[in-house]
Amino acid sequence: MAETRAPAVSEVHPQKEPTRDAGAAGTAVSEIKITGSKQVRPMWVIDDFDIGRPLGRGKFGSVFIARSKEEKIVVALKVLFKEQIFKHNVAHQVKREIEIQYHLRHPNILQLKGYFHDQQRVYIILEFAEGGELYERMKKKVRLDEAEAAKYVRQLADALSYCHVRRVIHRDIKPENILLDRKGNAKIADFGWAVVSADSRRETLCGTLDYLPPEMISGKTHDHTVDNWAIGILLHEMLVGRPPFEFPEKEENDASDPCLQIYSSKVCK
């Protein structure tokens, strides 16, 4: 498969590692303990965790491997910088991501275990997936065998069916957003573009170019079936080594991009 990929409609870039600020005491908005039961103490602060190596970096912050000092549970700690969140006017999106993922409980969905914040950052406590990204496995193997690809598709389809029954649309299914646990089971992650749809149709153009469905690119409304389209694209990429529709890598992409117009003329008509 190709070494580079078309970026998401909202791309990510490196940020600094978090530091502990004197006087920036954590204010909890979390409701559960790391183990999944009701938490005993009323709040967490960053000093409740031993912070390890970075797992990934993004426009709004970074993800680190961490361990809770009290429970000794290894987690992924997503650290978002409030300055960047407000600068890019995505506070509503972060809030929605937390609210949606927090309430989802499925073996093939990465569990959001809790969250808290201080004066400068928002911290999201996530299940740690030891196997890393599906994308890295695909890049290493180039093509997956049918049995392995079928396993992932079955698990993702089951997880998305669970979401869709609850009116949750993920809207950004791609290899980078699928993590693997220590046993090689798929876990859907990154609900940053997810939405709970009270209406049957949505209009927002979002996601990653290679995985955008025809109705989204042609400016039509969309529903939960955009996730089904993405599974099909993912299956093709797993078996063939690249997605069926590829776009050149760019810094920014929008609905007026010539690539989108070409895609629309090839697929949507």
Render pLDDT for 15-61 as a digit per residue (tens, 0 to 9): 334 444 433 333 333 333 444 434 444 478 999 999 999 999 888 99
Which of the residues are catalytic? 172
What's this model's pTM, rounded to 2 decimal places?
0.76
Residues that constitute the known binding site for ATP: 59, 78, 127-129, 176-177, 190
Tell me which H or E stretch contains 49.
strand 49-58
Which has more confidence, 77 or 259? Answer: 77
Q: Is the pLDDT of residue 203 over 60?
A: no
Instruction: For residue 206, give the nearest of 188, 230, 187 by alpha carbon.
Output: 230
Residue 255, φ and ψ in degrees, nearest 5: -65, -20
* 216 residue type, one letter: M
Q: Token pair of 201, please?
A: 């149709």
Q: Token pair of 209, please?
A: 């170019």
Domains of the chain: 35-127 (3.30.200.20), 132-247+256-267 (1.10.510.10)
| pLDDT, mean of residues 52-79 | 94
Residues that constitute the known binding site: 59, 78, 127-129, 176-177, 190
Could you identify the residue written with the tokens 């949505």? 202
